[in-house]
Amino acid sequence: MATPDSRRSRSATGRLARWGGAALGMGAAAILMTFGGLAVLAATTVSLGTATSFAVLAGAGVTNTGSSTVSGDLGTYPTPSITGFPPGLVEAPYTTFDADSVALGAKNDLTTAYGQAATGEGPATQEGTTAGDLIGLTLTSGVYQTGNTLGTANDGAMSLTGTLTLNGTGVFIFQTGSSLTMGTSSVVTGTASPCDVFWQVGSSATLNGPTFMGTVMASTSITVGSAVTVAGRVLAGTGTVTLIGDTINASGCISAASLPTPTATPAATTATTTAVPSTGAGGTSPLIGAGVLVTLGGLGLLGAGVTTGVIRRRRSPSV
């Protein structure tokens, strides 16, 4: 017949087993979160800061030929040159900012966003083909870069000579340490939101196809061919943005709260130059730090449970 002391001992042992199992479960989940969840949650939205309201942004000026329409702010810093407006039109309530403090702030935030897209996202979900041509692909959200095989980026040029389809919700980030060239037959389409598509370009971008989707962040310059419709933004780091009778529409990605207050006061400081990364991928996901903390917490709970169980067993030895 079991004594009261033995029943208490067995109860304590049961509680220890249940608590220890829960702690081990937390630890295992944290380890999976730390080391196994990055591919699924690799792409997070790129924060553009004060550059959010800009459909066109350049470093060395904006040049337009023909009746281009820009739905979003247009700016340049440090070069104040904006030519071809009119006949080009910046639709209300948007405006132009030429080398003022608003353009400076947007350029600095563009530099930060470019760095996040280039080195703060990954690992890559999938690369393009060996030649870097995205033609015929149907993709879901993730981080994509030019390369020969999965996980071996070569920072080659990225191009499109046909149709690229982007489907579903989530963020799409395309990384190249070189150039981006969209041919005259290129079409970027699909059910993805243009607000969730980002193109990080290590040198210059050329958009010649009839329709394009997403925000282009080029380290140097961006040239948009004749009569191209861009659902998104064209944001250049140190060079120019050239338009030829195009439609650049970022209005669906711009809230009224993000619109800056126009100012004619020249900026006194210099915008940070956009750096070109040595590779298209890399960086550390915020999930790693969170996963490590949860792992340590789970292991700590397990240690506390084991220690408590030992103390209770010593006080209540088995009969």
Specify the higher pLDDT residue, 195 or 16: 195
In a domain, 266, yes or no: no
Question: pLDDT tens for residues 155-182?
Answer: 678 999 999 999 999 999 999 989 999 9
Average pLDDT, the chain: 76
With a threshold of 0.85, does the pTM exceed it? no
**Mean pLDDT along residues 177-203:** 96
Does pLDDT of 54 surpass 70? yes
Whole-number pLDDT of residue 173: 94
**Mean pLDDT along residues 32-56:** 67
Kindly state whether residues 197 and 113 are assigned to the same domain.
yes
In a domain, 14, yes or no: yes
In a domain, 277, yes or no: no
In a domain, 282, yes or no: no
Kindly state whether residues 183 and 111 are assigned to the same domain.
yes
Kindly state whether residues 118 and 93 are assigned to the same domain.
yes
Whole-number pLDDT of residue 219: 97
Kindly state whether residues 99 and 175 are assigned to the same domain.
yes
Whole-number pLDDT of residue 276: 39
Whole-number pLDDT of residue 42: 53
Specify the higher pLDDT residue, 7 or 210: 210
Pick the closest to residue 183 from 218, 158, 148 (CA basis).
Answer: 158
Whole-number pLDDT of residue 260: 87
Question: Whole-angstrom Cα distance, residue 47 to residue 95?
Answer: 21
Whole-number pLDDT of residue 52: 97
Kindly state whether residues 65 and 27 are assigned to the same domain.
no
Pick the closest to residue 177 from 247, 114, 110, 118 (CA basis).
Answer: 118
Of 31-45, 58-72, 101-115, 261-275, the range with the lowest mean pLDDT is: 31-45
Question: Whole-angstrom Cα distance, residue 76 to residue 90?
Answer: 14
Specify the higher pLDDT residue, 214 or 305: 214
Does pLDDT of 277 surpass 90? no
Per-residue tokens: 39: 């591919």
Residue type at 317?
Answer: P
Angstrom CA distances, 67 to 53, 56, 85, 157, stand at 21, 15, 9, 31
In a domain, 281, yes or no: no
Of 5-9, 37-41, 217-221, 257-261, the range with the lowest mean pLDDT is: 37-41
Whole-number pLDDT of residue 39: 31
Number of domains in the chain: 2
3-state secondary structure of 165: strand
Domain hosting 142: range is 49-258
User: pLDDT band for position 135 (50/70/90)?
Assistant: very high
- Give the rounded percent of residues in the chain with a pLDDT score beyond 70: 62
Kindly state whether residues 129 and 223 are assigned to the same domain.
yes
